[in-house]
Structure 1
Amino acid sequence: MEARRISASPRPCSGRRVVARKRPRQETVVNSVRKLQRREISSSCDRAFSMSAAQERFRYIQLQEEFDTHDPKENCLLLPYLRKRSKIIEIVAARDIVFALSQSGVCAAFSRETNRRICFLNGSPDEVIRSLFYNKNNESLITVSVYGSENFSALRCRTTRIEYIRRAKPDSGFPLFESESLKWPGFVEFDDVNGKVLTYSAQDSTYKVFDLKNYTLLYSISDKNVQEIKISPGIMLLIYTRTSSSVPLKILSIEDGTVLKSFNHLLHRNKKVDFIEQFNEKLLVKQEGENLQILDVRNFQLTEVSRTEFMTPSAFIFLYELQLFLTFRNRSVAVWNFRGELVTSFEDHLLWHPDCNTNNIYITSDQDLIISYCKADSNDASSEENAGSINISNILTGKCLAKIKASDLCKQKKTWKFQSTPLEALEDITALYYDEERDEIYTGNRQGLVHVWSN
């Protein structure tokens, strides 16, 4: 899941909207005939085989390894705040290296080849790392940090080649966007789908778009009336200051900033706007107490969904390859299409955390599976109050294909090299990541421990 925005707020923000990325094809030209065949021949038998394969892939998963991001000896030179054990808030895996970021701002890199910690990525005693982004274009990790010397109010970005980190040389990277003033309420957003980086400098109300491959500046947008920018595949939506009865909108090409369409969308007077989202040619607008409006910006055809059927979610995930979107509300996940129809309700996928955090959810690159930390089944006699389960569900059918739960792990005992039993590893999971190349699930908890689950 990409398109991650990091704010310069004193407290890390949790983005409302994430674009689920499609795994890039190895061939440079997509075979149109094969694409049509896949679409036409995708029968229930084919889906059944895919579901069966997924069930087998996750059937015998057990706790295999444990890493600790807390090391009093290594962190003795850091600020007192950074020395404390704290929960894992983000996990990223790249080329057999697992990166784990704690809430205090300490980031550690672990090798899956040696199953040992390689290094810490904090370059100075007062560096608090806020977020991580793996740039597949140049095999590097981007860290977004704030510093005590700047009162933790300005974002600083740094890129480091994965190969340097593998050699325990995290200082071999170099800073990015040094010319930008990313103080609150400034931000940086990494968009892997379009291969772009969006920055916002509040100092001069300027948005800038950079190329993610080489970090060159592509174009700037300077307009104090722009209230928000939303990124979709190929386009950007500019949302301007609303009037009493409408909101001015512009759709721009993500490549060069060319204005593709400019229009006003009518609003109900004196009603708060819950959200405005752009997904390809579809504009979603929801006001407080009103129906959801889905506007096709090509022909301005409007579809409305009753406010009793579609209630304002806490977050979205857009599955652009499937032309569907996920909504998260009150621990529940649902799948919708752009006709305003509910496609899927999940049969056994009640999220553990009430506030949706996309670091606790993973969508596979084929956009067929969702892996989440969920409430354990109340009928499971061996389930405990503090332990949840890791559920793997099919996005199109809503069926739970596999589950990592306490009752299946009760025979696996704690070993000398683990601080946690499998049951304890399922308690208070705060971050989750699935490595599709290795078929491994990585989870982090409140104690700053990272656990590896695999066959």
Structure 2
Amino acid sequence: MEGRRISANPRPRSGRRVSASKKRPRVDGFLNSVKKLQRREISSRRDRAFSISNAQERFRNMWLREEYDTHDPKGPYSPVLPFKRTKVIEIVAARDIVFALAHSGVCAAFSRETNERICFLNVSPDEVIRSLFYNKNNDSLITVSVYASDSFSSLKCRSTRIEYIRRGKPEEGFALFESESLKWPGFVEFDDVNGKVLTYSAQDSIYKVFDLKNYVMLYSISDENVQEIKISPGIMLLIFNRATSHVPLKILSIEDGTVLKDFNHLLHRNKKVDFIEQFNEKLLVKQENENLQILDVRNTELKEVNRTEFMTPSAFIFLYENQLFLTFRNRTVAVWNFRGELVTSFEDHLLWHPDCNTNNIYITSDQDLIISYCKADSSDHWTEGNAGSINISNILTGKCLAKINASDGRPKVEERKRRTGSSCMIRSTVAEALEDITALFYDEERNEIYTGNKNGLVHVWSN
């Protein structure tokens, strides 16, 4: 998912940007000049019934196939990384390699061909990796790290070609954005939608935009009054410090920083702003205990949604393919359109984690399916333990198409090697593998789901 923002806050894993942006065509311009997306909207597909049937078949009979361990008591040697097990917080797969990042800051790479650990990506004994990003533009993995020698206060980015990692040589990567001071509250954000990188240097209050293909700086924005920047296809929304009764806004071209629109949005006095979000020509504004406002910035047409119908969510995911957006609130997911209408409520899709941790949610590139770690159905006799289920649901209909749970009838797997001579073995039962899942990723090319848990184990589910 990836368009993500990583903050330089010493507190781990803060400031992540939520958006669905996998395999997205690059777009230019603004509003009516935004290029039409190449894929048909799922709502207009004539073969929708076949698509649903195909999805059900893809995920039918998925069960536990492999188990990888991110923990190694013998390494990597580091004076700052604990030797104890920590939970998996992020999983990324690329080119038959599975990358698993543990909360400790250790990141391990595993081969799906040999089912063995290739290497650790930590190339320095004082390096703590905070986040991962697969850059498909140049087939490389970007790691974002902090270092003990810097009191863990500054973000450092590194790009390593997948081929180097496959050879077990992560040290052959190179540093990115070395000229930038990314101390708290600085950040770096990778935007796969537009193929851009946004950095913020708090030291001099300068935002910079880089090309994700070659990391060349394109332009900078220097304004101490900019409070926040939101990115959507083709454009950036600059949110300035609010005045008493309005908030100044600017819409810029993502390609060259040209100002496309400069305007003020009226606010209720003395009311906190819950959020301001931009999606193409639609501006979403919500204040505390007020209605949701959906403003069309082309013609200033304003649509309001009653506050009792639309309550402030904990997170959004914008679906660029079909002009919809997901909201997450109190473990539930809902789908809305930009007329402020509820499109879908999901059946049997109660999220396990109360906070919307997008590392436990995957949206397919066609944006027709959502895969999540959920609470098990109350009728499931395994629910007395901590085992949840992996639910695959159709985004447009809300129907649960498939589910991986502890009572799927598959035999329990105990201490057996998956292939002769391999150090890889499955110690967990299906129920144990479904306990306390902390990260989830779906490899669409291999049709495999990878999950990580609190014990630092990664499990592979396939059919």
Which TM-score tier does this pair reach, normalised by the shorter chain?
over 0.9
Q: Is the 8 A contact 2:62 2:404 kept in 1?
A: yes
- Structure 1 residue ranges without an equivalent (≥5): 26-30
Alignment map for 1:377-396 (pairs within 5 Å): 377-396=377-396
* 1:67 corresponds to: 68
User: Partner of 1:317: helix, strand, or coil?
Assistant: strand
Describe the superposition over 1:70-92 as per-residue Cα deviations: whole angstroms up to 9, x where unpaired: 001122x2125432210000000
- Of 409, 432, 436, the residue aligned with 2:440 is 432
**Corresponding residue number in structure 2 for 1:268:** 268
Q: Which amino acid aligns with 1:258?
A: T
1:149 matched to 2:149? The reply is yes
In the alignment, which residue of structure 2 is the partner of 1:367?
367
State the alpha-carbon separation in 2 of the partners of residues 256 and 344 from structure 1: 37
SS at 2:19's partner residue?
A: strand
Aligned partners of 1:167, 1:433: CA distance in 2, in Å?
23
The letter of the residue matching 1:42 is R
Contact 2:86 2:102 (C-alpha < 8 Å) held by counterparts: yes
State the distance in 1 between where 2:291 and 2:379 align.
37
Q: Give a deviation string over 1:125-168, Cα, whole Å, max 9, x none.
A: 11000000000000000000000000000000000000000000
1:50 and 1:452 mapped to 2: Cα distance?
24
Counterpart for residue 31 of structure 2 = none
Whether contact under 8 Å (1:409, 1:423) holds in the other structure is no
- CA distance in 2 between partners of 1:275 and 1:395 (Å): 24
Tell me which amino acid in the other structure corresponds to 1:63: L
Tell me what 1:53 maps to.
54
Q: 2:290 maps to what in 1?
A: 290
1:333 aligns with 333
Q: What's the secondary structure of 1:229's corresponding residue?
A: strand
Alignment-derived partner of residue 15 in structure 1: 16
Q: How far did residue 17 of structure 1 move?
A: 2.8
Aligned residue runs from structure 1 range 102-113, under 5 A: 102-113=102-113
- Runs (5+) with no aligned partner, structure 2: 27-34, 417-424
Q: Which residue of 1 aligns with 2:29?
A: none
Equivalent residue number for residue 423 of structure 1: 431
CA distance in 2, matches of 1:269, 1:9: 31
Residues 91 and 431 in structure 1, CA contact (< 8 A), matched pair in contact too? yes
Contact 1:238 1:251 in 2 (8 A): yes
What is the CA–CA distance in structure 2 between the aligned matches of 1:227 and 1:123, rounded to whole Å?
35
Task: Report the AA paired with residue 398 of structure 1.
Answer: G
Alpha-carbon distance between aligned partners in 2 of 1:33 and 1:148, rounded to the nearest angstrom? 44
- Per the alignment, residue 101 of structure 1 pairs with 101
- Aligned partners of 1:415, 1:235: CA distance in 2, in Å? 52
- TM-score, with structure 1 as normaliser: 0.95
CA displacement 1:397-441 (0-9 Å, x = unmatched): 000000000110552332322121111000000000000000000
Other-structure match for 2:420: none
Name the SS for the 1:178 alignment partner.
coil
User: Does 2:247 correspond to 1:247?
Assistant: yes
Q: Secondary structure at the match of 2:408?
A: helix
Q: Is 1:42 matched with 2:50?
A: no
Task: Decide whether the 8 Å contact of 2:43 with 2:396 is kept in 1.
Answer: no
Residue 421 of structure 2 corresponds to none
**8 Å Cα contact 2:81-2:106 kept in structure 1:** no
1:148–1:39: structure 2 CA closer, same or farther, 3 Å change rule? closer
Greater than 6 Å deviation, 4+ residue runs: 31-36, 38-41
Task: Classify 1:80/1:199 alpha carbon distance in 2 versus 1 (closer, same or farther; 3 Å).
Answer: closer
SS at match of 1:50: helix
8 Å CA contact 1:22, 1:321 repeated in 2: no
Matches within 5 A, 1:51-450: 51-75=52-76, 77-416=77-416, 417-450=425-458
SS in 1 for 2:54: helix
Q: Which residue of 2 aligns with 1:454?
A: 462
CA contact (8 A) 2:108 2:120 kept: yes
Provide Cα deviations, 1:362-409, integer angstroms capped at 9, x if missing partner.
Answer: 000000000000000001123333000000000000000000001105
Q: Would the alpha carbon gap of residues 447 and 278 (structure 1) be closer, same or farther in structure 2, given more than 3 Å must change?
A: same
Conservation of the 8 A alpha-carbon contact between 1:82 and 1:106: no
Distance 2:413 2:8 in 1: 44
2:188 alignment partner, SS class: strand
- Once the two structures are superposed, what CA deviation does each residue of 1:35-58 show, in whole Å capped at 9, x if it has no partner? 67x889723xx2111111111111
Give the direction of change, closer, same or farther, for the CA distance of 1:415–1:147 in structure 2 (3 Å limit): same
Change in 2 beyond 3 A, CA 1:40/1:347: closer
The amino acid that maps onto 1:100 is A
What TM-score do the two structures reach when normalised by structure 2? 0.94
**Equivalent position SS for 1:183:** coil
For 2:73, the aligned partner's letter is: P
Q: Give the counterpart letter for 1:185 in structure 2.
A: P
CA distance in 1, matches of 2:453, 2:22: 26
Asked if structure 2 preserves the Cα contact closer than 8 Å seen for 1:14 and 1:357, the reply is no
Q: CA deviation at 1:115?
A: 0.2
Question: Could you say what the CA RMSD is over the residues aligned between the two structures, in angstroms?
Answer: 1.8
Report the CA distance shift for 1:408/1:273 in structure 2 as closer, same or farther (over 3 A). same
How many Å separate the matches in 2 of 1:151 and 1:51? 51
C-alpha distance in 1, partners of 2:187/2:291? 31
- Aligned partners of 1:377 and 1:41: how far apart in 2? 32
Q: How far did 1:449 drift? A: 0.3
**Structure 1 residues 298, 442: CA separation in 2 closer, same or farther (over 3 Å shift)?**
same
1:81-113 deviation per Cα after TM superposition (whole angstroms, max 9, x unaligned): 432210000000000000000011000000000
Q: Give the Å deviation of 1:33.
A: 13
**1:19, 1:34 → 2: CA distance?**
16
Q: Report the CA distance shift for 1:221/1:34 in structure 2 as closer, same or farther (over 3 A).
A: closer
Q: Is the 8 A contact 1:2 1:19 kept in 2?
A: yes
The answer (yes or no) to whether the contact 1:96–1:111 under 8 Å persists in 2 is yes
SS in 2 for 1:171: helix
Alpha carbons 1:293, 1:305 under 8 Å: kept? yes
Secondary structure of the 2:426 match is: coil
Asked whether the equivalents of residues 20 and 317 of structure 1 are also in contact (C-alpha less than 8 Å), the reply is no
2-structure distance, mates of 1:16, 1:414? 39
- Matches of 2:372 and 2:450 in 1, distance apart? 11
Contact 2:81 2:128 in 1 (8 A): no
Match of 2:419 in 1: none
Q: Which amino acid aligns with 1:133?
A: F
